[in-house]
Amino acid sequence: MEKAEIIRILEEYARGEIPQDRVVERISAMGLEELGFATIDTDRTKRTGIPEVIYSEGKTPEQVSAIASKMHQREIPILATRATQAVYEAVVEKVPGAIYHKMARAVVYLPVESSLTESYIAVVSAGTSDMPVSEEAAVTAEFLGNRVERIYDVGVAGIHRLFHRLELIRGARVVIVVAGMEGALASVVGGLVDKPVIGVPCSAGYGANFGGVSALLSMLNSCASGVSVVNIDNGFGAACQANLINKLT
């Protein structure tokens, strides 16, 4: 538990706002907030550098909003991924000021605007159909305090488009590459830059793409050095990894 949180609890007790047993309960909770249907890890930022994030799929709008509300009370930055419009509408009732990024399917709330890193993460996508995943990666990276440069629709079918943006890509500290179909873009970028490349196989593609499996296998079999791969459509996971790399000192 953060020192500021402990001080706030003790001040509430001194003002007579909470009883002694509640003070003991909150301090001994070891960074956990129980909601019955969910247990919020309130100390995750201190432990890992990345706060608790709400994965919205499979949860009702009411459940997501209840979690977000409790995080808001604790002044924890809020990111809800795979969120629908209905989820956003439920959250914004409890968390005024929350923003919905429709393409990324993400709800974001920052208690305090943080400054972004000088070094940046490049999010590179093969095609416009990859944008939901690309935007999930970009929005997540920005939520975590990183400057992001978006380089979209530069796939191998028109590879000159990639070369036109190559200087910007090479200037990044880490590169996220999102590609569906055969997933070749990650290998191409990996052979052109001297920075870590995180491949995100995308489910966009015709039948033999097998919902992103063909792109996943292509990226895993990349002959380019320095290419790592996350799960299919996992822009969030790629952004978290890129965030940790970008903030290494």
DSSP-derived secondary structure for the chain: --HHHHHHHHHHHHTTSS-HHHHHHHHTT-SEEE-SS-EEETTHHHHHSS---EE-TTS-HHHHHHHHHHHHHTT--EEEES--HHHHHHHHHHSTT-EEETTTTEEEE-SSPPPPPSSEEEEEESSGGGHHHHHHHHHHHHHTT-EEEEE-S--GGGTHHHHHTHHHHHTSSEEEEEE-TT-THHHHHHTT-SS-EEEEE---S-GGGGGGHHHHHHHHT--STTEEE--TT-HHHHHHHHHHHHT--
Tell me what the mean pLDDT of segment 198-224 comes to. 93
Q: In this predicted structure, what is the pLDDT of residue 245?
A: 95
pTM of the model: 0.83
pLDDT at 78 over 80: yes
Pick 235 or 71 by higher pLDDT.
235
pLDDT above 90 covers what percent of the chain? 62
Tell me what the mean pLDDT of segment 221-230 comes to. 92
